[in-house]
Structure 1
Amino acid sequence: MKTSDFYYDLPKELIAQDPLEDRSSSRLLHLSMEDGSFEHRHFTDILDYLKEGDCLVINDTRVIPARLYGHKEETGALIEILLLKRKENDIWECLVKPGKKARPGAKITFGDGILTGEIIDIVDEGNRLIQFHYDGIFEEILDQLGEMPLPPYITHKLKDKNRYQTVYAKNDGSAAAPTAGLHFTKELMKQVEEKGVKIAHVTLHVGLGTFRPVKVDNVESHHMHSEFYMVEEDQAKLINDTKKNGGRVISVGTTSCRTLESATDENGILHAGSGWTEIFIYPGYKFKMIDGLITNFHLPESTLLMLVSALAGKEHIMAAYEEAVKERYRFFSFGDAMLIL
């Protein structure tokens, strides 16, 4: 299977640069898993597709303002870092730009010295381990100094930090938002529950591996970066009971999907627990838990496009994407949504 099999042509002006005024007013393309047919709707019409007894699974991770700008103490050179993974003792794995100049022993100062960091090790090309020093609470300092780590294809400045958070974001730790959830308002969530649909939550802290381009020609040779996930006991029971009672499990976003598929055994039972997952889902994968997926439109040749192709079939997905381009849907993080069911 070639990476180039997942290429499609996207006009640049269809990449959404700003979130809509009203989260739930985005468009919704429904793709039928039965026959590959599609319908054009609005996101609030999601209620028409959900049935009593279904379970919607959301990812309650919260994006941290993980992008920091500092200066090297020796030279004053500007350094940009992106917090990726929290280790112990205030050590983080970070993406550092420019990476070549970031040698172990180099010290970086942020915000007039209220936060300092020392590079202690090289992980790979642009990644470094940095030991941070500060007084007070790290999260509060981040809120003060950090910026939301928007993907590189968004060039506009975000006016309101909360628009890159879901309304149910709770657990700090992501370097990117689980963007399928950005379409939900609190009112819409309430309407979903009023319909007799259960809402379960899992946590997967989204790392940059999700967005890393596939650099190999052969899909099977691509290696995913690991991301931390958690499934609580009561939530696992809620999801397992849904399946047992004949309801459908519908994942909000590829991150919830990857969490469920990582924590479900071969018999289709979801297990509570936490850990790191490197699951890479591409055509040929047999889904163990999810029956449907709410998702955004993904980058050409990306692992996420491969995941949705595994669920709905590559031909159906590529036809739906062609239709979305023709109908001028908005693409990527702040774009419109797709329901595969």
Structure 2
Amino acid sequence: MMTDTRPFQVPAYLNASTPAEYRGMKRDHVRLLTLDSVTGESHHHLFYQLDSILREGDLLVLNNSRTLPAVLKGRKREQPIEIRLSRKVTDHEWEALVVGNYTVGEKIYLPGELTATVIGTGNESPLVILSFSKSGLKLYDVIYQYGEPLYYEYIKTPWPLEMYQTVYASVPGSVEMPSAGRAISYGLLHKLKQKGVNIAYLQLHAGLSYYGNDRWPNPTNHVEAFCIPEETAELVNETKRNNGRVIAVGTTVVRALETAVTNEGIVEAQEGSTRLYIQKGYPLRAVDGLLTGFHEPEASHLDLLTAFVDEDILMKTYEEVLSAGYLWHEFGDMNLILPMGEKR
């Protein structure tokens, strides 16, 4: 990670703690800054104007993973304990962050006659593997009935789960919302299709991006499950053949597509897990542009952005959006990084 070269800090007043709908506006009326990844030129828009920026023949790839209420509150003996799910391992096992004291082999008692037992360490510290007493749909039923959405310190109000969903989310699995698509509305999707912008879907189930107490996932070993359908792979490859631009909605989509692309630039339909870490100098083969939010200097998502645009240009742009009062995090404003000229 290259965070030492990123001296900027996000002031607390730019943390978007309230969804757009509760700020008296539509979700697609947040701000949008476009950044030409070749020239470094930037422009200010509102997000609902996205259809005027993209072109006929472009392909927008969306992550339709649906957010789970991934926080379960229970007890160990008489002590309260909190489980933050991160990644499904099997039908009854999850990698998770346990907040509170625990020992391997001891049961955690949860609502819905559910118990969880720590059976081992996770992919990286401080994650552990939990074995639940229910599996499959029965486990999901308890999670949906008793779980709460995951939110971090900058959120002051426990917003309902629907605030953590994109309008097109359909496949449950993410513990954090794939937030780059949150501002997209049905109306905007309709306008994009009318313009001739194609839409495709995949799933990458987002895991925990922050472990608390200034602990972040190791970006070189962060495992997330994904699935790229045959139809999506074909649309990406067709767009490339026709000299269109493939635009990922979110870093999750970039990870999935770049995991599934061959050295010859062909995206293959597949399902599996990825550990792919994308940073400065990474040879992007599947994706031309990225629609994303704004990221903290510590976040590995910011490393990924430097694969699209020179780091000096990116940091200059971040200085610009900080001065202009753009909002951060899942309820905040958006950034489109894209080569604006014609592809050759």
TM-score where L is the length of structure 1? 0.92
Instruction: Give the aligned partner of residue 175 of structure 1.
Output: 175
Instruction: Give the aligned partner of residue 121 of structure 2.
Output: 122
Instruction: Give the aligned partner of residue 323 of structure 2.
Output: 326
Q: CA deviation at 1:149?
A: 1.1
Instruction: Give the aligned partner of residue 88 of structure 1.
Output: 90
The AA in structure 2 aligned to 1:277 is T
Q: CA deviation at 1:223?
A: 2.3
Gaps of 5+ in 1: none
Do the aligned partners of residues 316 and 214 (structure 1) sit closer, same or farther apart at CA in structure 2, a change above 3 Å counting?
farther
| Alpha-carbon distance in 1 for matches of 2:324, 2:220 | 34
Q: CA deviation at 1:137?
A: 2.1
The AA in structure 2 aligned to 1:49 is I
Query: Which 10-residue stretch deviates more, 222-231 or 325-334?
Result: 222-231
Do the aligned partners of residues 251 and 210 (structure 1) sit closer, same or farther apart at CA in structure 2, a change above 3 Å counting?
farther
| Alpha-carbon distance in 1 for matches of 2:65, 2:174 | 6
Deviation by residue 1:204-235 (Cα, 9 ceiling, x = unmatched): 0111257886879xxxx952311111111111
The AA in structure 2 aligned to 1:68 is L
Q: Secondary structure at the match of 2:306?
A: helix
| Alpha-carbon distance in 2 for matches of 1:38, 1:320 | 8
Instruction: Give the aligned partner of residue 31 of structure 1.
Output: 35
Q: CA deviation at 1:264?
A: 0.7
Q: Secondary structure at the match of 1:311?
A: coil
Tell me if structure 2 keeps the 8 A contact 1:200–1:238: yes
Tell me if structure 1 keeps the 8 A contact 2:293–2:330: yes
Q: CA deviation at 1:138?
A: 1.9
Tell me if structure 2 keeps the 8 A contact 1:6–1:305: no
Instruction: Give the aligned partner of residue 265 of structure 1.
Output: 262
**Aligned: 1:44 with 2:48:** yes
Q: Secondary structure at the match of 1:223?
A: helix
The AA in structure 2 aligned to 1:90 is H
The AA in structure 2 aligned to 1:137 is K
Q: Secondary structure at the match of 2:307?
A: helix
Q: Secondary structure at the match of 1:129?
A: strand
| Alpha-carbon distance in 1 for matches of 2:298, 2:91 | 38
Instruction: Give the aligned partner of residue 145 of structure 1.
Output: 146
**Aligned: 1:78 with 2:80:** yes
Instruction: Give the aligned partner of residue 108 of structure 1.
Output: 108
| Alpha-carbon distance in 2 for matches of 1:296, 1:14 | 13
| Alpha-carbon distance in 1 for matches of 2:194, 2:39 | 30
| Alpha-carbon distance in 2 for matches of 1:155, 1:275 | 32
Q: CA deviation at 1:122?
A: 3.0
Instruction: Give the aligned partner of residue 166 of structure 1.
Output: 166
Do the aligned partners of residues 200 and 89 (structure 1) sit closer, same or farther apart at CA in structure 2, a change above 3 Å counting?
closer
**Aligned: 1:155 with 2:163:** no
| Alpha-carbon distance in 1 for matches of 2:52, 2:211 | 31
The AA in structure 1 aligned to 2:120 is D
Q: Secondary structure at the match of 2:45?
A: strand
Query: Which 10-residue stretch deviates more, 204-213 or 167-176?
Result: 204-213
Q: CA deviation at 1:157?
A: 2.2
Deviation by residue 1:94-114 (Cα, 9 ceiling, x = unmatched): 11112xx21122111112x52
RMSD of aligned C-alpha atoms?
Answer: 2.0
| Alpha-carbon distance in 2 for matches of 1:255, 1:210 | 15
Within-5 A mapping of 1:1-341: 2-21=2-21, 22-72=26-76, 75-98=77-100, 101-111=101-111, 114-123=113-122, 124-134=124-134, 137-150=138-151, 152-209=152-209, 223-341=220-338
| Alpha-carbon distance in 1 for matches of 2:187, 2:219 | 40
Deviation by residue 1:28-57 (Cα, 9 ceiling, x = unmatched): 011111210111110011111111111100
Deviation by residue 1:69-93 (Cα, 9 ceiling, x = unmatched): 1001xx3111110112222351222
| Alpha-carbon distance in 2 for matches of 1:45, 1:306 | 27
| Alpha-carbon distance in 1 for matches of 2:107, 2:215 | 33
Q: CA deviation at 1:153?
A: 3.6
- Identity, % of aligned positions: 36
| Alpha-carbon distance in 1 for matches of 2:293, 2:219 | 22
Query: Which 10-residue stretch deviates more, 292-301 or 86-95?
Result: 86-95
Tell me if structure 1 keeps the 8 A contact 2:18–2:155: no
Tell me if structure 2 keeps the 8 A contact 1:5–1:301: no
In the comparison of the two structures, how many residue pairs are matched?
331
